[in-house]
Amino acid sequence: MKHLIRGRVLIDGKGGSIDQGAVLFEGDRIVAAGRAADIGVPEGAEIIDTDGTVMPGMFDAHVHLRSPGTPDETGMHKWEMASMSYADMSLRAAYYAQQTLRSGFTSVRDLAAPGGTIIDLRKAIDAGYITGPRIKACGMGLTVTGGHMDEGGWADHVSFANMTAPCNGADGFRQGVREQLKRGADFIKLNTWVSYHNSPTRFWRQEMTEDEIRAACDEAHAQGVHVAAHTYGPDGVAASVRNGVDTIEHGHWIDEPTIELMVKHNTTFVPTLTINDVHASYAVDNPNLAEKYKRWHRESSAAKWKTLELVRKAGIRVCTGTDSGFQLENGKWGAYELMLMVKGGFTPMESIVAATASSADMMEIEAGRLEAGKYADIVIVDGNPLDDISILHDISKLRVFKGGVAVQ
Protein backbone atom coordinates (compact mmCIF):
# COMPACT_ATOMS: atom_id res chain seq x y z
CA MET A 1 0.00 0.00 0.00
CA LYS A 2 1.20 3.49 -0.82
CA HIS A 3 1.23 6.27 1.80
CA LEU A 4 1.25 9.97 0.98
CA ILE A 5 2.27 12.66 3.48
CA ARG A 6 1.48 16.20 2.39
CA GLY A 7 2.83 19.18 4.30
CA ARG A 8 2.73 22.94 4.14
CA VAL A 9 6.53 22.76 3.90
CA LEU A 10 8.79 19.92 2.79
CA ILE A 11 12.48 19.99 3.80
CA ASP A 12 14.42 17.59 1.59
CA GLY A 13 17.53 17.14 3.80
CA LYS A 14 19.82 18.36 1.01
CA GLY A 15 19.34 22.04 1.72
CA GLY A 16 16.12 22.62 -0.18
CA SER A 17 12.57 23.31 0.91
CA ILE A 18 9.29 23.36 -1.00
CA ASP A 19 5.95 24.89 -0.08
CA GLN A 20 3.06 22.44 -0.38
CA GLY A 21 5.33 19.42 -0.58
CA ALA A 22 4.61 15.72 -0.42
CA VAL A 23 6.41 12.44 0.11
CA LEU A 24 5.04 9.16 -1.23
CA PHE A 25 6.29 5.85 0.14
CA GLU A 26 5.54 2.17 -0.20
CA GLY A 27 6.97 -0.50 2.08
CA ASP A 28 10.12 0.88 3.67
CA ARG A 29 11.19 3.09 0.75
CA ILE A 30 10.30 6.49 -0.62
CA VAL A 31 8.74 6.37 -4.09
CA ALA A 32 8.60 10.10 -4.79
CA ALA A 33 9.07 13.45 -3.04
CA GLY A 34 8.54 16.98 -4.22
CA ARG A 35 5.67 19.32 -4.98
CA ALA A 36 2.34 17.82 -3.90
CA ALA A 37 0.78 18.96 -7.17
CA ASP A 38 3.38 17.04 -9.19
CA ILE A 39 3.00 13.85 -7.16
CA GLY A 40 -0.79 13.86 -7.14
CA VAL A 41 -2.72 11.15 -5.29
CA PRO A 42 -2.02 7.59 -6.47
CA GLU A 43 -5.08 5.40 -6.39
CA GLY A 44 -5.67 3.76 -3.04
CA ALA A 45 -2.92 5.70 -1.26
CA GLU A 46 -3.44 6.47 2.42
CA ILE A 47 -3.14 10.24 2.87
CA ILE A 48 -1.77 12.15 5.86
CA ASP A 49 -2.24 15.90 5.56
CA THR A 50 -0.35 18.25 7.86
CA ASP A 51 -0.23 21.98 8.32
CA GLY A 52 3.34 21.59 9.43
CA THR A 53 6.62 20.40 7.98
CA VAL A 54 7.72 17.08 6.50
CA MET A 55 11.43 16.33 6.79
CA PRO A 56 13.82 13.37 6.92
CA GLY A 57 14.42 11.51 10.16
CA MET A 58 17.44 12.98 11.90
CA PHE A 59 20.85 11.49 12.79
CA ASP A 60 22.78 11.66 16.04
CA ALA A 61 26.29 10.80 14.90
CA HIS A 62 27.80 10.49 18.40
CA VAL A 63 26.02 8.56 21.14
CA HIS A 64 26.79 5.95 23.80
CA LEU A 65 23.59 3.95 24.14
CA ARG A 66 25.08 1.73 26.86
CA SER A 67 25.22 4.37 29.59
CA PRO A 68 22.62 6.40 31.49
CA GLY A 69 24.02 9.87 31.02
CA THR A 70 23.60 10.93 34.61
CA PRO A 71 25.08 14.37 35.15
CA ASP A 72 26.67 13.33 38.43
CA GLU A 73 30.47 13.03 38.00
CA THR A 74 30.56 10.26 40.62
CA GLY A 75 28.08 8.18 38.60
CA MET A 76 30.56 7.73 35.77
CA HIS A 77 30.06 4.68 33.69
CA LYS A 78 33.26 2.93 34.72
CA TRP A 79 31.62 2.12 38.05
CA GLU A 80 28.72 0.60 36.19
CA MET A 81 31.14 -1.45 34.15
CA ALA A 82 32.08 -3.24 37.36
CA SER A 83 28.51 -3.89 38.47
CA MET A 84 26.38 -4.37 35.33
CA SER A 85 26.32 -7.43 33.09
CA TYR A 86 26.30 -7.13 29.31
CA ALA A 87 22.64 -8.14 29.36
CA ASP A 88 21.80 -5.34 31.83
CA MET A 89 23.51 -2.83 29.58
CA SER A 90 21.94 -4.09 26.38
CA LEU A 91 18.42 -4.14 27.80
CA ARG A 92 18.75 -0.62 29.14
CA ALA A 93 20.30 0.46 25.83
CA ALA A 94 17.21 -0.95 24.10
CA TYR A 95 15.08 1.46 26.14
CA TYR A 96 17.38 4.37 25.23
CA ALA A 97 17.22 3.32 21.58
CA GLN A 98 13.40 3.50 21.67
CA GLN A 99 13.49 6.92 23.33
CA THR A 100 15.99 8.16 20.75
CA LEU A 101 13.80 7.00 17.86
CA ARG A 102 10.71 8.64 19.36
CA SER A 103 12.61 11.93 19.52
CA GLY A 104 12.89 12.02 15.73
CA PHE A 105 16.38 10.52 15.47
CA THR A 106 16.01 7.54 13.15
CA SER A 107 19.76 6.79 12.89
CA VAL A 108 22.60 6.93 15.40
CA ARG A 109 26.31 6.15 15.46
CA ASP A 110 27.48 4.55 18.71
CA LEU A 111 31.01 5.55 19.66
CA ALA A 112 31.99 2.80 22.13
CA ALA A 113 30.35 0.31 24.45
CA PRO A 114 31.62 -2.66 26.44
CA GLY A 115 32.04 -5.85 24.43
CA GLY A 116 29.61 -6.12 21.56
CA THR A 117 26.57 -4.85 23.48
CA ILE A 118 25.52 -2.23 20.93
CA ILE A 119 26.45 -4.43 17.96
CA ASP A 120 23.98 -6.96 19.39
CA LEU A 121 21.40 -4.23 19.94
CA ARG A 122 21.77 -3.25 16.28
CA LYS A 123 21.18 -6.86 15.27
CA ALA A 124 18.04 -7.09 17.44
CA ILE A 125 16.65 -3.88 15.93
CA ASP A 126 17.47 -4.97 12.37
CA ALA A 127 15.80 -8.34 13.03
CA GLY A 128 12.65 -6.53 14.23
CA TYR A 129 12.73 -7.89 17.80
CA ILE A 130 12.66 -4.38 19.24
CA THR A 131 12.20 -0.89 17.87
CA GLY A 132 15.04 1.58 17.66
CA PRO A 133 16.98 3.75 15.26
CA ARG A 134 19.31 2.43 12.58
CA ILE A 135 22.63 1.94 14.35
CA LYS A 136 26.23 2.05 13.23
CA ALA A 137 28.37 0.75 16.09
CA CYS A 138 32.13 0.66 16.64
CA GLY A 139 32.06 -2.03 19.32
CA MET A 140 34.73 -1.02 21.83
CA GLY A 141 36.78 2.14 21.41
CA LEU A 142 40.46 1.41 20.84
CA THR A 143 42.75 3.10 23.34
CA VAL A 144 46.30 2.74 24.71
CA THR A 145 46.77 0.85 27.98
CA GLY A 146 45.55 3.15 30.74
CA GLY A 147 44.19 5.57 28.13
CA HIS A 148 40.92 7.46 27.84
CA MET A 149 38.82 4.29 27.47
CA ASP A 150 40.92 2.05 29.74
CA GLU A 151 41.19 4.18 32.85
CA GLY A 152 43.19 2.97 35.83
CA GLY A 153 42.48 3.21 39.54
CA TRP A 154 41.48 -0.40 40.12
CA ALA A 155 42.82 -3.08 42.43
CA ASP A 156 45.19 -5.62 40.91
CA HIS A 157 42.60 -8.38 40.94
CA VAL A 158 40.01 -6.37 38.94
CA SER A 159 39.88 -7.13 35.20
CA PHE A 160 38.00 -5.34 32.46
CA ALA A 161 38.88 -7.88 29.80
CA ASN A 162 36.35 -7.59 26.94
CA MET A 163 34.95 -4.38 28.42
CA THR A 164 37.79 -2.13 27.29
CA ALA A 165 40.08 -2.58 24.31
CA PRO A 166 43.62 -1.45 25.16
CA CYS A 167 46.07 -1.74 22.26
CA ASN A 168 49.75 -0.83 22.03
CA GLY A 169 52.03 -0.32 19.06
CA ALA A 170 51.14 -0.36 15.39
CA ASP A 171 50.61 -4.12 15.32
CA GLY A 172 48.50 -3.95 18.49
CA PHE A 173 46.17 -1.40 16.92
CA ARG A 174 45.96 -3.40 13.69
CA GLN A 175 44.91 -6.38 15.77
CA GLY A 176 42.42 -4.22 17.69
CA VAL A 177 40.81 -3.09 14.43
CA ARG A 178 40.56 -6.69 13.23
CA GLU A 179 39.02 -7.84 16.52
CA GLN A 180 36.30 -5.17 16.49
CA LEU A 181 35.47 -5.93 12.85
CA LYS A 182 35.35 -9.65 13.63
CA ARG A 183 32.81 -8.87 16.37
CA GLY A 184 30.69 -6.98 13.84
CA ALA A 185 31.76 -3.32 14.16
CA ASP A 186 30.65 -0.93 11.41
CA PHE A 187 33.54 1.49 11.90
CA ILE A 188 36.49 2.08 14.23
CA LYS A 189 36.79 4.48 17.14
CA LEU A 190 40.22 5.68 18.30
CA ASN A 191 41.17 7.84 21.26
CA THR A 192 44.15 9.66 19.78
CA TRP A 193 44.58 12.79 21.89
CA VAL A 194 42.66 13.55 25.08
CA SER A 195 41.88 16.40 27.44
CA TYR A 196 44.62 17.62 29.81
CA HIS A 197 43.98 19.59 32.97
CA ASN A 198 47.40 20.32 34.46
CA SER A 199 48.39 23.30 32.33
CA PRO A 200 46.81 26.78 32.14
CA THR A 201 47.57 27.06 28.42
CA ARG A 202 47.56 23.59 26.91
CA PHE A 203 44.33 21.63 27.36
CA TRP A 204 45.09 18.45 25.42
CA ARG A 205 47.73 15.73 25.36
CA GLN A 206 48.80 12.86 23.14
CA GLU A 207 47.87 9.24 23.86
CA MET A 208 48.38 7.38 20.58
CA THR A 209 51.59 7.67 18.55
CA GLU A 210 51.35 8.65 14.90
CA ASP A 211 52.50 5.14 13.96
CA GLU A 212 49.60 3.68 15.92
CA ILE A 213 47.06 6.05 14.34
CA ARG A 214 48.38 5.32 10.85
CA ALA A 215 48.32 1.54 11.36
CA ALA A 216 44.76 1.55 12.72
CA CYS A 217 43.50 3.78 9.89
CA ASP A 218 45.30 1.78 7.18
CA GLU A 219 43.81 -1.46 8.48
CA ALA A 220 40.30 -0.01 8.84
CA HIS A 221 40.41 1.52 5.37
CA ALA A 222 41.67 -1.74 3.88
CA GLN A 223 38.58 -3.38 5.37
CA GLY A 224 36.33 -0.62 3.98
CA VAL A 225 35.29 1.13 7.18
CA HIS A 226 35.83 4.66 8.44
CA VAL A 227 37.71 5.81 11.54
CA ALA A 228 36.43 8.26 14.14
CA ALA A 229 38.81 9.85 16.63
CA HIS A 230 38.18 11.40 20.01
CA THR A 231 40.73 14.19 19.82
CA TYR A 232 41.55 17.72 20.92
CA GLY A 233 43.90 20.54 20.10
CA PRO A 234 45.43 21.64 16.79
CA ASP A 235 48.33 19.19 17.01
CA GLY A 236 46.06 16.30 18.05
CA VAL A 237 43.60 16.97 15.26
CA ALA A 238 46.40 17.46 12.72
CA ALA A 239 48.13 14.20 13.75
CA SER A 240 44.82 12.36 13.48
CA VAL A 241 43.89 13.83 10.09
CA ARG A 242 47.39 13.42 8.62
CA ASN A 243 47.38 9.73 9.55
CA GLY A 244 44.00 8.90 8.07
CA VAL A 245 41.23 9.60 10.61
CA ASP A 246 37.96 10.32 8.78
CA THR A 247 35.86 12.02 11.48
CA ILE A 248 37.10 14.32 14.24
CA GLU A 249 34.99 14.04 17.41
CA HIS A 250 34.96 17.01 19.86
CA GLY A 251 38.10 18.64 18.42
CA HIS A 252 37.94 21.99 20.24
CA TRP A 253 40.93 24.30 19.67
CA ILE A 254 41.38 23.66 15.95
CA ASP A 255 43.50 26.38 14.31
CA GLU A 256 43.60 27.64 10.73
CA PRO A 257 46.47 25.48 9.40
CA THR A 258 44.66 22.43 10.79
CA ILE A 259 41.45 23.55 9.10
CA GLU A 260 43.37 23.64 5.80
CA LEU A 261 44.59 20.10 6.45
CA MET A 262 41.00 18.95 7.14
CA VAL A 263 39.84 20.51 3.87
CA LYS A 264 42.68 18.79 1.99
CA HIS A 265 41.82 15.39 3.49
CA ASN A 266 38.02 15.81 3.25
CA THR A 267 37.74 15.27 7.00
CA THR A 268 34.34 15.38 8.66
CA PHE A 269 33.80 17.27 11.92
CA VAL A 270 31.45 16.15 14.71
CA PRO A 271 31.71 19.02 17.21
CA THR A 272 29.57 17.49 20.02
CA LEU A 273 28.49 20.96 21.12
CA THR A 274 25.80 19.58 23.40
CA ILE A 275 28.00 17.62 25.79
CA ASN A 276 30.44 20.49 25.96
CA ASP A 277 27.70 23.02 26.66
CA VAL A 278 25.71 20.97 29.16
CA HIS A 279 28.70 19.42 30.90
CA ALA A 280 30.33 22.84 31.32
CA SER A 281 27.19 24.23 32.93
CA TYR A 282 27.24 21.41 35.51
CA ALA A 283 30.95 21.67 36.04
CA VAL A 284 31.32 25.36 36.74
CA ASP A 285 28.72 25.19 39.52
CA ASN A 286 30.00 21.95 41.04
CA PRO A 287 31.56 22.72 44.45
CA ASN A 288 33.26 19.31 44.49
CA LEU A 289 35.14 19.86 41.25
CA ALA A 290 38.74 21.07 41.37
CA GLU A 291 39.46 24.46 39.82
CA LYS A 292 41.64 22.98 37.07
CA TYR A 293 38.65 21.03 35.69
CA LYS A 294 36.46 24.13 35.80
CA ARG A 295 39.19 25.98 33.93
CA TRP A 296 39.20 23.27 31.25
CA HIS A 297 35.45 23.63 30.80
CA ARG A 298 35.61 27.41 30.55
CA GLU A 299 38.42 27.26 28.00
CA SER A 300 36.91 24.46 25.90
CA SER A 301 33.51 26.19 25.87
CA ALA A 302 35.06 29.34 24.44
CA ALA A 303 37.22 27.36 22.01
CA LYS A 304 34.39 25.31 20.57
CA TRP A 305 32.62 28.37 19.16
CA LYS A 306 35.82 29.63 17.53
CA THR A 307 36.47 26.21 16.02
CA LEU A 308 32.90 25.96 14.77
CA GLU A 309 33.18 29.33 13.05
CA LEU A 310 36.42 28.32 11.27
CA VAL A 311 34.88 25.01 10.20
CA ARG A 312 31.74 26.71 8.90
CA LYS A 313 33.73 29.25 6.87
CA ALA A 314 35.93 26.50 5.39
CA GLY A 315 32.88 24.48 4.30
CA ILE A 316 34.02 21.35 6.14
CA ARG A 317 31.31 18.70 6.43
CA VAL A 318 29.74 18.88 9.90
CA CYS A 319 27.57 16.13 11.38
CA THR A 320 25.40 16.48 14.46
CA GLY A 321 26.49 14.40 17.44
CA THR A 322 25.53 14.99 21.06
CA ASP A 323 27.69 12.47 23.01
CA SER A 324 24.43 11.33 24.67
CA GLY A 325 25.06 8.63 27.25
CA PHE A 326 28.01 10.58 28.60
CA GLN A 327 26.32 12.88 31.14
CA LEU A 328 23.33 13.38 28.82
CA GLU A 329 20.35 11.04 28.86
CA ASN A 330 19.89 9.27 25.54
CA GLY A 331 16.81 10.37 23.61
CA LYS A 332 16.53 13.83 25.16
CA TRP A 333 19.24 15.96 23.56
CA GLY A 334 19.41 15.20 19.83
CA ALA A 335 17.77 18.40 18.62
CA TYR A 336 19.68 20.52 21.13
CA GLU A 337 22.75 19.99 18.94
CA LEU A 338 20.94 21.67 16.04
CA MET A 339 19.96 24.57 18.30
CA LEU A 340 23.59 25.03 19.34
CA MET A 341 24.77 24.93 15.71
CA VAL A 342 22.36 27.78 15.01
CA LYS A 343 23.67 29.62 18.07
CA GLY A 344 27.16 29.10 16.59
CA GLY A 345 26.33 30.78 13.28
CA PHE A 346 24.81 28.07 11.08
CA THR A 347 21.40 28.67 9.53
CA PRO A 348 18.55 26.39 10.65
CA MET A 349 18.68 24.77 7.19
CA GLU A 350 22.43 24.13 7.51
CA SER A 351 21.92 22.52 10.90
CA ILE A 352 19.18 20.28 9.46
CA VAL A 353 21.46 19.25 6.58
CA ALA A 354 24.14 18.34 9.17
CA ALA A 355 21.54 16.18 10.95
CA THR A 356 20.24 14.55 7.78
CA ALA A 357 22.06 14.25 4.41
CA SER A 358 25.57 15.00 5.76
CA SER A 359 25.32 12.44 8.55
CA ALA A 360 23.66 9.90 6.26
CA ASP A 361 26.55 10.21 3.79
CA MET A 362 29.17 9.92 6.53
CA MET A 363 27.41 6.89 8.07
CA GLU A 364 26.57 5.36 4.67
CA ILE A 365 22.88 4.92 5.46
CA GLU A 366 20.34 5.29 2.64
CA ALA A 367 18.24 7.87 4.44
CA GLY A 368 18.53 11.51 5.45
CA ARG A 369 16.97 12.75 2.22
CA LEU A 370 13.39 12.83 1.05
CA GLU A 371 14.01 11.38 -2.38
CA ALA A 372 13.00 8.27 -4.30
CA GLY A 373 14.83 5.12 -3.25
CA LYS A 374 15.80 6.24 0.26
CA TYR A 375 14.36 4.66 3.40
CA ALA A 376 11.06 6.24 4.42
CA ASP A 377 12.55 7.67 7.63
CA ILE A 378 10.38 10.74 8.02
CA VAL A 379 9.46 13.27 10.69
CA ILE A 380 6.30 15.36 10.60
CA VAL A 381 6.81 18.54 12.60
CA ASP A 382 3.98 20.62 14.01
CA GLY A 383 5.44 23.96 12.89
CA ASN A 384 8.40 25.04 10.78
CA PRO A 385 11.90 24.39 12.16
CA LEU A 386 13.32 26.85 9.61
CA ASP A 387 11.52 29.59 11.55
CA ASP A 388 12.31 28.17 14.99
CA ILE A 389 14.79 25.30 15.21
CA SER A 390 13.92 24.68 18.88
CA ILE A 391 10.59 23.08 18.01
CA LEU A 392 12.54 19.96 17.05
CA HIS A 393 13.49 19.70 20.74
CA ASP A 394 9.80 19.31 21.68
CA ILE A 395 8.90 15.65 21.18
CA SER A 396 5.18 16.44 21.49
CA LYS A 397 5.44 18.30 18.15
CA LEU A 398 6.88 15.33 16.22
CA ARG A 399 5.45 12.28 14.47
CA VAL A 400 8.13 9.83 13.46
CA PHE A 401 8.24 7.14 10.77
CA LYS A 402 11.08 4.67 10.38
CA GLY A 403 11.14 2.54 7.24
CA GLY A 404 7.59 3.65 6.50
CA VAL A 405 6.26 2.50 9.87
CA ALA A 406 4.83 4.98 12.37
CA VAL A 407 6.83 4.94 15.61
CA GLN A 408 4.67 4.44 18.70
Q: Closest CB to Zn ion among 39 and 340? A: 340
Q: Which is nearer to Zn ion, 212 or 323 (CB)?
A: 323
Cα(89)–Cα(68) distance, integer angstroms: 9
Nearest distance, CB of residue 249 and Zn ion, angstroms: 6
Distance separating alpha carbons of residues 338 and 49, to the nearest angstrom: 26
The answer to whether 288 touches 73, Cβ cutoff 8 Å, is: yes
Q: Which parts of this chain interact with Zn ion (CB under 5 A)?
A: 111, 323
**H or E element: which one contains 143?**
strand 142-143
In the complex, least distance from residue 95 CB atom to Zn ion, rounded to whole angstroms:
19
* Residue nearer to Zn ion on the CB measure, 36 or 354: 354
- The beta-carbon contacts of 265-268 under 8 Å, at least 24 apart in sequence, are 265/241, 266/317, 267/241, 267/316, 268/316, 268/317, 268/318, 268/319, 268/358, 268/362
Closest approach of Zn ion to the CB of residue 170, in Å: 25
Closest to Zn ion by CB, 3 vs 230, is 230
- In angstroms, the CA 331 to CA 125 distance is 16
Q: Under DSSP, is residue 34 helix (H, G, I), strand (E, B) or coil? A: strand
- Residue 16 CB, nearest approach to Zn ion (Å): 32
CB of 227 to Zn ion, least distance (A): 15
* Nearer residue to Zn ion within complex by CB, 111 or 376: 111
Alpha-carbon span 91 to 397, nearest angstrom: 28
Q: How far is the CB of 356 from Zn ion (least distance, A)?
A: 21
Q: Are 222 and 194 in contact (CB under 8 A)?
A: no
Does an H or E element contain 362, and which?
helix 357-363
Residue nearest to Zn ion (CB): 323
Which residue, 111 or 188, has its beta carbon nearer to Zn ion? 111
Q: What secondary structure letter does DSSP report for 375?
A: B
